[in-house]
């Protein structure tokens, strides 16, 4: 059960995240079992609301049920039942359309890997004779979902075992929620300027060019129709965060924040902070160390520009996503 008062989350709204139902423990897999993912149910669950979907169950396939496979038919990948050859592709894809109104309010989606309906990457595809013809298939529901909502952060459950991919996905989910909430209200150009300013380091840590592109849109927000600005900024913002960051780009963002803070620190604290950034760069310390020091010093020295950067707290601390060293 979710707590009534979860820990502080950088004033972000509670994200809505779509998810394959089996990953939350629902017994809807083809064998009647589930694929409960403990990071989702035991950690992320405290901070998000779920939109669980099982495409196979929603089109009326029971449990247990015959195995489904991807087959190449007339140069198209189709989801076919092993038992009778029935083609379920269009029905599975249509589930994304049926949930579209609710999915437009979502801030991310976690899909079951290796699933002919929900698999996102590298599914095996067989020919009509059963021989493997490709290893780059995509599930029918997953394919339709990503076409309908190209800016939505989407990930496979298997890839969430990778610490850096897990952190990247969760970061994008909370950023998506903040932007969605901004544009859902009666925003003004000043509100977009404030939002963009708070996300400066976060955008720079992924794509300096993306930061500049979004900045140009913000500068002209008062000259353009609101809907045009919302759509253009949303696309550019998510495009920037969809660029995977690196240890070097993180270190540059940390150095940028240090530059704002440095004149206020004595030599000892300045040295300790620079040493923590270098330790992170050299893979001797996790990202949580320099960001924690920056947050502490920005708070104690009352540096609001740096203190309020979403980069320093992009999601709830209790998710413990920046503590791995070798990422």
- Summarised one tens digit per residue, pLDDT across range 289-325 is 999 999 999 988 888 888 899 999 999 999 999 988 7
Q: Cα 215 vs. chain centroid, distance in angstroms?
A: 22
Q: Using the structure block, give the residue that is written with the tokens 């989350």.
A: 9
CB 312 within 8 A of CB 322: no
Q: Which two tokens stand for residue 305?
A: 């520009």
Q: How far apart are CA 275 and CA 272, in angstroms?
A: 5
Residue boundaries of the structural domains of the chain: 16-161, 162-327
pLDDT at 1 over 60: no
pLDDT at 119 over 90: yes
Per-residue pLDDT band for 75 (boundaries 50, 70, 90) equals confident
Q: Which two tokens stand for residue 66?
A: 């015959």
pLDDT computed for residue 12 by the predictor: 65
The pTM (predicted TM-score) of the whole model is: 0.92
């Amino acid at each position: 059960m979710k707590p009534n008062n979860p820990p502080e989350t950088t004033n972000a709204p509670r994200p809505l995240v779509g998810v394959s139902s089996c990953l939350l423990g629902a017994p809807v897999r083809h064998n009647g079992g589930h694929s409960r993912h403990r990071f989702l149910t035991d950690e992320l669950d405290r901070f998000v609301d779920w939109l669980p979907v099982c495409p196979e169950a929603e089109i009326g396939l029971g449990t247990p049920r015959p195995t489904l496979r991807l087959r190449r038919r007339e140069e198209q990948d189709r989801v076919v039942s092993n038992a009778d050859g029935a083609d379920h592709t269009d029905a599975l894809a249509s589930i994304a359309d049926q949930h579209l109104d609710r999915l437009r309010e979502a801030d991310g989606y976690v899909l079951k890997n290796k699933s002919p309906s929900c698999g996102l990457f590298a599914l095996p595809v067989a020919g009509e004779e059963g021989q493997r013809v490709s290893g780059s298939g995509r599930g029918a529901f997953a394919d339709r979902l990503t076409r309908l909502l190209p800016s939505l952060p989407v990930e496979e459950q298997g890839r969430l075992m990778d610490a850096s991919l897990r952190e990247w996905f969760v970061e994008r989910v909370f950023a998506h929620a903040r932007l969605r909430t901004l544009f859902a209200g009666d925003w003004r150009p000043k509100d977009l300027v404030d939002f963009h300013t708070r996300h400066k380091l976060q955008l720079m840590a992924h794509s300096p060019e993306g930061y500049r592109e979004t900045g140009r849109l913000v500068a002209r927000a008062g000259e353009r129709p609101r809907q045009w600005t919302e759509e253009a900024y949303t696309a550019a913002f998510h495009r920037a965060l969809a660029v995977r960051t690196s240890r070097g780009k993180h270190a540059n963002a940390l150095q940028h924040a240090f530059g704002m803070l440095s004149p206020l620190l004595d030599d000892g604290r300045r040295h300790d902070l620079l040493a923590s950034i270098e330790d992170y760069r050299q893979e001797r310390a996790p990202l949580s160390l320099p960001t924690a020091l920056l947050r502490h010093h920005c708070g104690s020295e009352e540096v609001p520009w740096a203190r309020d950067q979403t980069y320093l707290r992009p999601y709830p601390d209790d998710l413990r996503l920046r503590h791995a060293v070798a990422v």
